[in-house]
Amino acid sequence: MLKSVAPLLRAQIVAGSALETMLLMDAAGLDRWLSACLGDLEATRNAISDVLLDRVATLLLAGDGRTYVFGQRKSASLAEYAFFLLSPLVPNVQLIASGTASLADLLLDVHAGDRLLVLTFRPYARLAGEVIEFFRQAGGSIILISDDALGPPARLADHVLVCAPDSPGPFASAVGGMFVVEAVAAAVAERVTDEGRQAAARALWGRFGTY
């Protein structure tokens, strides 16, 4: 009886050891990612001064022009997040949806006094560079969130917020970009004294089933 049970017990022990090893490997992977993310956040913080963040927030709230938000590839999700954070705070925020089908129509009314908040990370999308060049030609102001202060998209920007993209994986991390998007929105929120727009946004959210 014991002899017949022994192989089964050995198999269970081996399986348990394999599972424990896999869990330890997963934990080590999480620790590597955590360490990299913390390093990115620290590097991003050191790259952006309080003065620069203040200038960006002030620009986003200046004048009556529109604020356009744009990102391609993986930056598209960060651009959409920035739009949702800024829309209750800043009037006339326009998300330029990812893709080229309606891009020309969305940019038709851009003029001096408008602002572009653009996000782009390596490998850079050529379309992002074209949108930046168009805004510069139209006389608009450009705020760039990117991973390189000297990269091609940065040469025409008024303000560049640099995010550290390092990761232990085969792709760049977006943690720094999300940190900057939230920091910009928080800086804008601190300067908004009239909460009427935010109250109106909350009322609309409730009306259309967002809660």
Chain segment 117-160, per-residue pLDDT in tens: 999 998 888 899 999 999 999 999 999 999 999 888 899 999 99
**At the top level of CATH, which class does the domain 44-207 belong to?**
alpha beta
SS3 143: strand
**Residues 159-200: tens digit of each pLDDT:** 999 999 888 888 889 999 999 999 999 999 999 987 777 777
| Interior angle at CA 50, CA 48 and CA 179, nearest 5 | 50
Q: Is the pLDDT of residue 15 over 60?
A: no
SS3 sequence of 57-101: HHHHCCCCCCEEEEECCCHHHHHHHHHHHHCCCCCCEEEECCCCC
Residue 2 confidence (pLDDT) above 50: no
Q: Are 96 and 69 in contact (CB under 8 A)?
A: yes
Taking only Cα atoms into account, the Rg of the chain, rounded to an integer number of angstroms, comes to 23
Q: Model's pTM, two decimal places?
A: 0.82
User: What pLDDT does 25 receive?
Assistant: 46
DSSP state of 109: T
Q: Compare 120 and 14 and report the one with higher pLDDT.
A: 120
pLDDT tens per residue, range 18-48: 555 444 445 578 899 899 999 999 999 999 9
Confidence of residue 10 (pLDDT cuts 50, 70, 90): low
Question: How many other C-beta atoms lie within 10 A of the C-beta of residue 187?
Answer: 18
DSSP letter string, 17-54: HHHHHHHHHHHHHHHHHHHHHHHHHHHHHHHS-HHHHH
Residue 87 · residue 93 · CB < 8 Å: yes
Q: How far apart are the C-alpha atoms of 36 and 182, rounded to whole Å?
A: 19
Parse the chain into domains and list their residue ranges. Answer: 44-207
Start-to-end CA span in the chain (Å)? 62
SS3 162: strand
Judge contact between 69 and 95, C-beta under 8 A: yes
pLDDT at 95 over 50: yes
